[in-house]
Amino acid sequence: MIWLRTLLGRLKGELRFILLLAVVIAGAWLYVQARHAERDRDDVLRRAELVCAAVGIKWTAKHMRGPGEACADRARQLRADREAIDQQSVRLLTDVMRRANAQASADAQAARAALAQARAAETRMEAANGKVEHDTVGADWFAALSDLAGLRRPAR
């Protein structure tokens, strides 16, 4: 404990120097923090100028609320336009998909009907083939062949 008492005794003699050293250290720390804040501010300002240039407005454009406000207004307008375009695109895509699905459904139904007609025509052709005698075919056989080929029946 004696060493602590002697240390405190020496420090009391150097109290003014220690206080000056603490003030210098605090000042240096504040100086460094101010430089960091300036660097960050300059970086944010540079990025804002780049963004404003991208939307077609200068950061320094005159506006009653100050610099950057014209740019912010334009950015808000572009965002609103983009949202409207996205909504319109979704609506159009939905309509196109709905029409495509309806067309695919109609095509599938037409294909089923054509398949049923082809099967019926094949059955009629087989029946007409069964009725053929002495290798002589008649109008029914030709009508069945036309049905099988997808042709119209002859007018009677």
pLDDT score, position 91: 97
Q: Show the domain range for 100.
A: 2-123
119: in domain: yes
102: in domain: yes
Average pLDDT over residues 6-13: 75
68: in domain: yes
pLDDT score, position 81: 95
pLDDT score, position 98: 97
Does the pLDDT value for residue 113 go beyond 80? yes
Nearest-5° Cα angle at 51, 45 to 52? 85
pLDDT score, position 145: 78
Structurally, the chain folds into a number of domains equal to: 1
Confidence of residue 154 (pLDDT cuts 50, 70, 90): low
115: in domain: yes
Average pLDDT over residues 142-146: 79
Tokens of 155: 């007018």
Alpha helices, DSSP H, located in the chain: 2-13, 15-55, 69-131, 139-149
Give the whole-angstrom CA distance, residue 31 versus residue 21.
15
138: in domain: no
131: in domain: no
Average pLDDT over residues 82-103: 97
154: in domain: no
Confidence of residue 69 (pLDDT cuts 50, 70, 90): confident
148: in domain: no
